[in-house]
Each structure stands twice: as C-alpha cells, then as structure tokens.
Amino acid sequence: MSDEMAHASPLPEAPFNAVYLGIGTVAWVVAALKIRAWRRDPNQGLLVVFFSIAAPATAFVVAAPVVYRLVDRLAHRPNLATLLVYLGIMGFSAAAVVLARMWTPPEDRVDARVWDGAAVETWRPVRLRLVVFAVLVAAMIVLFFAGGATSPQTPLTFDTTFATVPSIAVFLVLYQALFGFALIDIGRVCLRHAAGLPDGSLRRGIRQLAIGSFVSCGYGACKLVAIGAAAGGITGTEWLSTALGPAFAALGAILITAGFAGPAIAAWIRRRRDYQALRPLWDLVYRADRRLALEAPPSAWTERLAVRDLEWRTARRGLEIRDGQLTLRPWVDPGVVPAATALAERAGLDEDERSALIVAAALRGAVEALNAGTPPLPREDQAPLPGLDAEPVEERAHLVRVARYLHAPLTGEALAAATAGTG
C-alpha cells in the first residue's frame, strides 16, 4: 500500500514504474474478478472486498512516477497526486475496518465462515467507524491544503520535506494512525479465523492477508520514525521513508493481494480440473444417447482453452452425466455391483472410492450391453447404484472419481469378474 515512487536522484525511474504499475495492475485484475463474482452472487462481503482491493490498487498506479507527474501536470497543483495516493490507502483502511467487523461473527455463530456477510447486529459499529473515518479523512484533506505544500516533491521525499509544517505533520500522523489501526484490526481477525479453518486454499489465503497486514505495519513504523526525526531537525533517517518503508509496503501489498486472490484462483483451478476430468465420463454417456446433451462435444483444443463460465459448464456436464446414468440403468449387469465391491475391498479402497469403482464398472458394462443389443432389464431387476442420492456439494466430487476409475485396471477386472460370474 505504498504512497512512494521514484527518488529524485540519478536512479532511473523505470524500476519504480514497473513495480508500482505492476502491483497496481495485478491488484486491479483481482478487484475485477471480485466485482464479477459479486455480479453473479451479490452480497455485501464481496462488494467490500472489491473496494478494499480497488482503492490501494489505484493508489499504486497513481504513485508510479509517470502517472504521478501526469496528475500534477494536468491539475496544475504540485503534490496533489500524493493526496490522491493517501486517500486511496484510506479507502483500503476503511474497507479493512468494515471487513474486520463483518468477519467477526457473534458468539452464537462460532462456526460461521469468514466470508459470510455481516449480521444485523454488526452494522451499528460498522456505521460508527465509517463516520469516524469520514470525519478524519475530511480533516486530512483540509490539513493537506492548509499546509501549502506547493514546492514540487516526489512521494519519496514529501513526508520528510514537509514534516516541519504543523498541518502537514498532523495530516501525516492521522494517515499513519488510521492505516495502522486498520491493518492491525484486519490482521487480528484473519489470524483468529484462519486458526479455526481446515487446511486448504481459504485458510492459506486468510493467513496471507494477516501476514501481509502485519508486514505493512512496518511501513507505518518507518514513516513515523522518519517524520519525527525530520520534524525535530535530525537528518540521516530519510532512508527509512524512502527505502525501507516502501519495501515493507510493497511486500505487504503483494501478500494481501495474494491472500485475496488465492482462494478465488484455487476455486477456478478446481472447477477447470473437474470440468476436464468429467470429459471421459460425459463422452461415454453421450455416445450411448446423443439426446442427453444440448450440443455436440467440444474439440480437445476448445476443452483445453476453456477459461470462462466453468462453474456453469461443469454443472451442466454433471447433470447430463446424471441423465445418462439413469438412461443406462436398465442395461447395468446386476453382477457388476458385487464383483466391483469385492475387488474394492481386496484393494483396500475407502467408501467413496468403492462407490466410484462400482459406478464406473456399471456404466461401462451398460454401454457395452446397449451396443450389443441386449434387452433392458425390468425395473424390479435393476441394480441400485451408489451416489444417486448424493448431496449437490458431494455429487461433483463423486462423478469426478467415477470418471477417473472409468478406464482403470480395477474397472476392467470388475467387468471381467461380472461376466465370468454371469457365465
């Protein structure tokens, strides 16, 4: 969440442009994904998360030397970009404080997820904190303009250059105090929630948010020391404001952005993996009855390049497979179930894997029987297959396991054993 940019020294500004524009651009991509998710499933939490990413992302972009100078030149007001950068960070601070309240469930919701929206009773302290932020931010704007900081400075040198101006000094202290409070608040809440979550991408993302928040506190500490030293006429500490502080801010921003993006990226990867994993099973039922699908199967390249609407595509694929399973049920050899069950027990498979093996063998055998012209079994003789009564949240995982067993050696052995038993 840096407000800094290139130094007015001979050092080239290209690296600073690359770092700030790079962080800002990546953060805006994450923010765009959040607002897209909010449009699909509107809820308060996602909207606040969007603002908590978009505000500092904009601050990073404005802090890049090329953008910073452009803003000042267009506005004909030196150092105006510094105020815009600080206000962007205040936007993050306000959003972080709101998230900390939303993500702190009441005592009777100890098992609530961290991403759940705020309960009714949390909105009173949220509104109060937002009012406090609004008043203090307004005071910051007044103090900034009252300071008369009209000599052009880069963001690296602004703080220590104007620390001796009382109104600017108060402006800077207010900024660091609000920012630090928000970082500690959201970091504390995230650590608490991460400790109660099972291992996975959500827990890792929330812990990264907490770590990034605490790392960013180093930015404020360095800034306050440098500002205090400059106000007291002490020299030699400017490097805390121009180098070490921005380094803490950049590292914290990377960790926070990764924390917000991590769970979403992991979910996208999981959906894409499931979508592709279901293809062999979908092909099997499609070849058995082409009326089950809304459209012909996509090409292999189309499948590999699929990146959008994966949740809808995967859900539709799962429904079509379920329809195919029900269509093929009259051709399932009743002997497949005991044969696959016996093989699964000998192989030491757990219940979920055993169910997947049984269904995979049953569907393969049913397609072979259908293609061979075998007459369908009457309803009373049809073998019940596991997984048909699975909850929606469990159904996809079950079908993915079935798809992976479809051409496994154990499945072939189960079919052979069933055929031998029938014979």
Cα 223 from Cα 140, distance rounded (Å): 17
Q: Which residues of the chain have pLDDT under 70?
A: 1-12, 105-122, 292-295, 421-423
User: What pLDDT sits at residue 2?
Assistant: 47
User: What pLDDT sits at residue 121?
Assistant: 60
User: What pLDDT sits at residue 20?
Assistant: 87
pLDDT in tens, 191-226: 888 888 888 888 899 899 999 999 999 999 999 999
H or E, element range at 240 = none
User: What pLDDT sits at residue 171?
Assistant: 94
User: What pLDDT sits at residue 7?
Assistant: 39
User: What pLDDT sits at residue 130?
Assistant: 87
pLDDT in tens, 94-133: 998 888 877 775 554 444 444 444 555 667 777 888 898 9
Query: Computed from CA positions of residues 210, 214, 217, 219, in that sequence, does the dihedral angle turn out positive or negative?
Result: negative
pLDDT in tens, 40-59: 778 788 888 899 999 999 99
Cα 234 from Cα 136, distance rounded (Å): 29
H or E, element range at 309 = none
User: What pLDDT sits at residue 115?
Assistant: 44
Residues 6+ apart with CB under 8 A from 330: 376, 377, 379, 382
